[in-house]
Structures are given as structure tokens and as C-alpha cells.
Amino acid sequence: MSSPAVVKVKPPTIDPIDVSRKELYAEDRWQEPFRRLRAEAPIQYVPDSLFGAYWSVSTAKPIIHIEALPKMFSSSYEYGGITIAFEANSLLPDEERMPMFIAMDPPQHTAQRRTVAPSFGPSEVAAMKEEVRQRTGDLLDSLPVGEPFDWVQKVSIELTTGMLAKLFDFPWEERANLTRWSDVGGDVELIRAPGGMAKRNAELGEMGQAFAQLWQQRIANPGKDLVSVMAHSDAMNHMSPQEFIGNLILLIVGG
């Protein structure tokens, strides 16, 4: 007679560490909490946080295992997506679901990711190399000498925004809008502030309108930019307005 196997699970040796706390990253103190998690509780349930309960998985083997089983561990926005800021079965006031392919499961995720991935591949990057070097050199040459300046504003933001404008073939004189939309799209604090979601929707609606105009232009006159690639692909040429905006947020914030 056989008996059921008993699997003994060693309980965590530490109280739950909430790594969703923004001050850990703002103050550059995240290293020690993650070190302890990896050493003592690589899979940990956090029952309470600003965003509710969540699981923390912090070592490579279980992360790889989880990522390989999308039917069991879904990334879909329909079940809460990939962030702890949003809940699957409830919406914040004024919140709209904006699906993006990083928060989808195969086969939809695979098809959309394959559509845009070549734009970030070695050959495309190599094709932009000379222009990027020229712009970077011009920007560095324009920096003030012998006086302090804000590196983030003068260099970091300007270089990354210029790269985004290049990838989308976005109007150069309007490229500052990309920075603003990126800030809004990635601002978790904003969505929980009074009136924040309505402000976010307005900003992202403006972004959607601007890119919808580019979309129509690229349908008629396609180029090698990301808008053209999406508009002329089977996987992304039929997106809803919400999915269109969601994927723009992903590409702008992630790009």
C-alpha cells in the first residue's frame, strides 16, 4: 500500500520584506533587502504593501521556471499584468485598461514582440551608429565649460529623447512631448494621487492622437520606423485605441 508523499517546505527565516517601497530605490538601499531575499527567502509572500499582497521571487532558477509556464503564471493584463500597481478584478477611478504586449501571453505576446524586435537588433543599431555619434558629439560640445549644469536635463534626457524620436521618426521639433509622455506613462505615484488618473488619461490621449496621425501617414508612406513597422504588420495593424496607447507607453518608457 502506497501513501501520499509529504513534501516539507522550509518556512522563510525572515519576516516579509516589502521591496515595493519606493524609498529603497530613491535612496539606493535596495541591494541589502534583495541580498537577504536571495539568501533566506527566494520565494516570499508579502501579505501587505501599498499595492496589496504579492509574491516576491528573487533568484534565477524559480524565475526561469515561472517564465516558462505562462498558462500557470500568466503575464496577461486580464489577470493583473506584470506590475503590482494594478489589480486584475478592479479599476481605479477613471482607470482604463491599456493592454501592451509585455503584459500578454503567447501567442499574442510572441507575435507582437517579433514585430518590433528587429527595430532594436544589431543591424538596425549599426545603421544608426554614425548619426547617433554625431548627435552625441554635438550635444557634448554644446555643454557649458567651467560652470555647473544638470547632466540629466542637458544630456541623459536629451540623448534618450532624441533616440526615441529617431526610432519613431517623430517630428524632431516636438520631441519634448516624448519625454513628457514617458514620465506620465511610468509614474506609479500619479495614478494613485487625487485626480491623477484623469490627468494621466488626458496626457496619454494626447499621445494617442499624435501617433494616430503618424500612423495614417505611415500607412500611405511607410518607412523603417516603429510606427511603419506596426502599421504594416499582421500582428499589430488592427489594435484597439487602448492597445495602441498601451504599446506606445511600453515602447516609449521601455525604449
In a domain, 193, yes or no: yes
In a domain, 215, yes or no: yes
pLDDT tens-digit profile of 162-212?
Answer: 999 999 999 999 999 999 999 998 887 887 788 888 898 899 999 999 999
Residue type at 251 in one-letter notation: L
User: How many domains does the chain contain in total?
Assistant: 2
pLDDT exceeds cutoff 80 at 149:
yes
pLDDT exceeds cutoff 70 at 52:
yes
In a domain, 206, yes or no: yes
pTM of the predicted structure, to 2 decimals: 0.80
pLDDT exceeds cutoff 90 at 9:
no
CATH code of 176's domain: 1.10.630.10
In a domain, 17, yes or no: yes
- Going 118 to 119 to 121 to 124, the CA torsion angle's sign is positive
pLDDT of residue 73: 93
pLDDT exceeds cutoff 60 at 3:
no
CA–CA distance, 30 with 27 (Å, rounded to integer):
8
Q: Which domain holds residue 127?
A: 113-254
pLDDT exceeds cutoff 80 at 75:
yes
**Mean pLDDT calculated for residue range 36-59:** 92
Does residue 52 or residue 239 have the better pLDDT?
239
Cell 536571495, residue located: 38
Q: Are residues 143 and 230 in the same domain?
A: yes
Residue type at 127 in one-letter notation: A
CA–CA distance, 71 with 90 (Å, rounded to integer):
22
In a domain, 107, yes or no: no
In a domain, 171, yes or no: yes
Q: Which cell is 179 given?
A: 519625454
CA distances from 152 to 21, 149, 158 (A): 24, 9, 8
pLDDT of residue 98: 84
In a domain, 90, yes or no: no
Q: What is the mean pLDDT of the chain?
A: 89
Q: Are residues 152 and 246 in the same domain?
A: yes
Q: Are residues 123 and 55 in the same domain?
A: no
pLDDT exceeds cutoff 60 at 94:
no
pLDDT tens-digit profile of 59-73?
Answer: 999 999 999 999 999
Which residue, of 63, 78, 97, is where some domain finishes?
A: 63
In a domain, 16, yes or no: yes
Q: Which cell is 136 given?
A: 552625441
- Percent of the chain at pLDDT > 70 equals 89
